[in-house]
Amino acid sequence: AKMAKRLPGRLERTAKKADEYARGIMTGGTLFEELGFYYVGPVDGHDMNQLVHILRNLRDAEDVGPVLLHVITEKGHGYKPAESAGDKYHAVSKFNVVTGEQKKGPSGPPSYTSVFAKELVRQAATDDRIVTITAAMPSGTGLDKFAKAYPDRFFDVGIAEQHAVTFAAGMATEGLRPFCAIYSSFLQRAYDQVMHDVVLQNLPVRFAIDRAGLVGADGATHAGSFDIAYLGCLPGITLMAPSTELELLHMTATAIAFDEGPLGLRYPRGVGLGLDLPEAGQVLEIGRGRIVREMARQSGPEQGGIAILSLGPRLADALKAADMLAAQGLSPTVADARFAKPIDTALVEQLARNHAVLITIEEGSVGGFASFVMTHLAKTGLLDRVRFRPMTLPDRFIDHNTQAAQYHEAGLDA
C-alpha cells in the first residue's frame, strides 16, 4: 500500500487491487477486507523486530481506512510449564522458575469457591440433573473439580459469557439443574441474555457469582460491585449472599433444590472464617434472614437502640462494630439478611419497629440491597419512624490493594 502511493493514479489503483488480492489469497483475510478493513496478517507475535516494523509501516500508511492487524501468539511461549497449563498462569504469585511450581501460602480455612464446588460435586453424585457451565474459568470457579468427577456434565464454552447464559437457559428448559459459574464482573457481559433468555422466561438457572465484592489485587476492572443492583431490579429473581463459608454450604444446597425460577448466589474471593462444616448443606427457607445477636434490654428504642442488618461477609465486621458499641454502653441487634431478594420483610419491619436506628451493610454499590430495604420501609410508612443509614461501597472505583485495605478505604470495616 505504501509503495502504491508512489505510482500514477491508474497504476496505483491496480497495485492496490493486486495487493488486496494477494493478501486475501495468502492470508485468508478476505472476510475482513469485505468488511472494509485493511487486513494484515497473520503475524508472528513473538518476532518483535518484524512486529515493530509492521506497526511502523501501518502507522505511516495513509488512506487505507480501518486497519486490522492479525497477530498470533502462543500462551507461555518459550516457557514449558506455562505452555502446558492451559488454564493456569493467568495471574501468578511467586513461583519456582525451574519447575513452574507456584508458592502456596500456609494452609488455612477453605476458600468460598472450594466450599461451593465441594457441595456441588457431592450432590451431583445422587442428582444427575446437575450440570455446570463456565466461560473459560474452570479453575477459578472451582468447576475443575466437578469436571474431573463428572466430565459429561461439565461444559466450558470459552470466553463467551453470553453463550454460557443462553446455553444454561436451554438446559433449564429440558428439566436440568444448570449452574452457570461466572465471576461477578464477567456476568455483566451477558446481561441481555440474563434478562431475556433466563429471567423473562422464569427459567431455573443458578448463577454462581464468584468474586462478588472487592477483589484485591485484580483491581477495579474485576471488582464484583454491581451484581446486586443490576440483578436485583429484575422481576422474579432470587439473590442470596452468604455471611460465612457455612452459610455458603447451606445456600449451595438451597440453590440446587430451588426450581421455581432464576437464582443468583454471590460469594467473595478468599477464604472463610475457619468454621466447622458439616458433610452436607441444609436447604434454607427462601427470603428469610436471621437474628445473630439480640439487642440488650437497656438499649431499646427509647434509649436509642441500634440494629445492624448485614448482607454477606461484612457480618464479621458488623459483629466487631457491635462489640465496640457495647463497650460504650450500647448493645445493638445484629442480623444476617441472607437474601437480597426477596428481602425478609418481616425481619426488616421488626428491626425498624424495635430500634431507633437501622443500619444496612453490603459489599455492593449504591442501588442494591439498601435500596430494596429502604423502598420497603417507605412503602410501609416505617421509614418515617426509624433513622435509616445505608453502608455501601462508595460511588467510585477503588484501585488495586489488598481486600482488607480496599474495604477500609470504602469504610466497610470495623
Which residues are catalytically annotated? 75, 161, 189
Kindly write down the DSSP assignment for every residue of 115-178, as one continuous string. HHHHHHHHHHTT-TTEEEEESS-TTTTTHHHHHHH-GGGEEE--S-HHHHHHHHHHHHHTT-EE
Cα 91 from chain centre = 17
CA distance 289 to 346: 9
Q: Where are the alpha helices (DSSP H) in 180-331?
A: 184-187, 191-193, 227-232, 245-257, 315-326
CA distance 333 to 146: 40
Tell me phi and psi for residue 226, to 5 degrees: -115, -5
Q: Is the dihedral of CA 179, 184, 190, 194 positive or negative?
A: positive
Mapped onto helix, strand or coil, the DSSP state of residue 68 is strand
Q: Where are the alpha helices (DSSP H) in 44-93?
A: 48-60, 80-83
Distances (CA, A) of 388 to 302, 334, 345, 371, 391: 16, 15, 15, 11, 10
Residues forming beta bridges with residue 336, ordered by sequence position: 290, 310
CA distance 357 to 370: 14
Other CB atoms within 10 Å distance of the CB of residue 231: 25
Other CB atoms within 10 Å distance of the CB of residue 182: 27
Give the number of residues written for the chain: 414
Grid coordinates given for 97: 522458575
User: Cell 501460602 maps to which residue?
Assistant: 105
CA distance 267 to 286: 17
Residues forming beta bridges with residue 179, ordered by sequence position: 132, 206
CA distance 240 to 344: 12
Residue pair 336/315 in contact (Cβ under 8 Å)? The answer is yes
Residues forming beta bridges with residue 389, ordered by sequence position: 359
Torsion angle of C-alpha atoms 299, 300, 303, 308, degrees rounded to 10: 70
Half-sphere exposure of 169 (CA within 13 A, CB side): 19
